[in-house]
Amino acid sequence: MKVPRSLQIWRLGIVNYSDALKLQEKLVSDRKIHKISDTLLSLQHPPTYTLGKRRTDHNLLISEAELKKLGAELHYTQRGGDITFHGPHQAILYPIISLRDIGLGARNYVEKLESTMIEIASLYGVKACPGQKGETGIWVGDRKIGAIGVRIQYGITSHGLAFNIDPDLNYFKHIVPCGIADKDVTSLRRETGNGIYEAVEKPAPHVTYSKEHQCHQALKRANGGRADAEMELAELLLHLLLYSLLLPF
């Protein structure tokens, strides 16, 4: 009988991007020497712009001085993909997973990230799909609702996906999102109105995963129902990705 796989789950709340990056680097190193098992980080960031390893600075449409006035940070990373924005009310998942151990190729892994976001959108009545050739992430028509940018070192993944629940879409006006000039960015809230506040029944995967690791602060519930709904949606996204990654390959 095949031994069930497990994932450590870290729910981190709101984490500064540089701190999250350092944490990912440490976990990748630990995973490489089998010090830890596969790990999945669930979190949000303060307003942050990130560039991938191609360094497409021309897709940032304002100066760094103007960016700071917005209260946002700029970070250069080694992930794939172009410039993107991370901020509050956006669900982010960073899997630290050994693809070699599970016999999964890079393309199939990215497809699992895509299918996870497509499924959660469908649960809220939104039809999303992968982009056309050269367009990463998940789209609703010509509007991007979910971004993907991954890095794979020693067969171990880092970075991951960002799904727009209800971020301030004005931040995207200061960049050419993902380097695609003629496309828009959207969110689940924009596509559904108040639909994100409606209860959605979680799927029931026949898998189990390891104990949950609680650290840092929980997502603040200062906005009452809105924050509760977003926490539930982020949890559902996590649940769906767990289902995808823990199923036998």
Q: Which sequence positions are flagged as catalytic?
A: 178
Q: Give the phi and the psi of residue 95 in degrees, each rounded to 5.
A: -80, 130
3-class DSSP state for residue 159? strand
Question: For residues 235-246, b (16+ Cβ closer than 10 Å) or e, as one string?
Answer: ebbbbbbbbbbb
Angle of the 106-123 helix axis to the 225-246 helix axis, nearest 10: 140
- Give rounded-to-5 percent helix, strand, coil for the chain: 35, 25, 40
